[in-house]
Amino acid sequence: MNKTQLSVTQVLFCLLLVFRVLLDDANAQTNDSLKQKHTKSDTIEHLPHFEISFGQSLLFISDGQLNSIQNQASVIVPTNAFLFFIEFRPEKTVKIPVFLNLPTESKQYLINGQLINKRASPTFGAGLEFNVFKKTIDTRSTLNFEIGPLASFIFNTKNDIRVVPIVAGRFRLKRGENFVMYAGCSYSFGINALGLLYGTGTIF
């Protein structure tokens, strides 16, 4: 009888030990899960909201479009311009870019051997960009390629606004927490113009 009581006691003791181990393990997993959620929420709270960049853009218009541009209300596109670029949601897959081109020189046309200068007006636009790929170069540097459709609003000499669809893409090199450099190109379907863009920026 004593042996039977002793074996039951031992079994109960073993069951208590197993229950204690399982309880401790469950508590540990719960704490780890809470820590991960807390870390994830902190990361989300500290994600940057936008990028501000300053650069330059160069626009090349095909020869076949010069006469049509001259005849169609003299639409003016800046050849060389300062580029002010803001991108919202810079660390997301889908981004929202907004840009402004401020011309630094007049638009020049070579017609019948004569160089004609005309006022170059600012252009602004917005659209969507998609992060195609992201490659880690080292512990502090990453390279992204972004591309997407945009709409550009071009002012002409008659103070009218013309909407031109654009496809633009850029390579963006991020160094450290917030410094970025980029270079890319764009194509304007409405005027068959190819543009080059480059600059540096900061992520906030």
State pTM to two decimals: 0.67
* 75 vs 164: CA distance, rounded Å: 11
**76 in Cβ contact with 120 (< 8 Å):** yes
Nearest to 58 by CA among 76, 87, 82: 82
Same domain, 96 and 176: yes
* Start-to-end CA span in the chain (Å): 77
Residues paired with 147 in a beta bridge: 130, 169
What is the pLDDT, as a whole number, of residue 42?
45
CATH code for position 167: 2.40.160.20
* 51 vs 84: CA distance, rounded Å: 11
Same domain, 174 and 198: yes
Same domain, 35 and 57: no
Range of the domain at 8: 1-46
Same domain, 95 and 180: yes
Nearest to 168 by CA among 155, 180, 151: 151
* 174 vs 166: CA distance, rounded Å: 25
Q: Length of the chain in residues, anyone? A: 204
Same domain, 95 and 19: no
- Averaged pLDDT for residues 172-185: 94
Number of domains in the chain: 2
Average pLDDT for the chain: 75
Q: Report in angstroms the alpha-carbon separations of 141 from 56, 177, 180, 181, 186.
A: 23, 9, 10, 11, 25
Same domain, 36 and 56: no
What is the pLDDT, as a whole number, of residue 105?
78
Same domain, 39 and 54: no
* 23 vs 56: CA distance, rounded Å: 63
What is the pLDDT, as a whole number, of residue 4?
41
What is the pLDDT, as a whole number, of residue 91?
81
Same domain, 55 and 133: yes
Same domain, 101 and 128: yes
Same domain, 70 and 127: yes
Same domain, 10 and 92: no
pLDDT digits (tens, 9 = 90+) for 47-76: 678 899 988 888 776 545 555 555 544 444
**51 in Cβ contact with 204 (< 8 Å):** yes
Nearest to 150 by CA among 123, 127, 184: 127
Same domain, 33 and 60: no
Out of 10, 28, 46, pick the residue that ends a domain.
Answer: 46
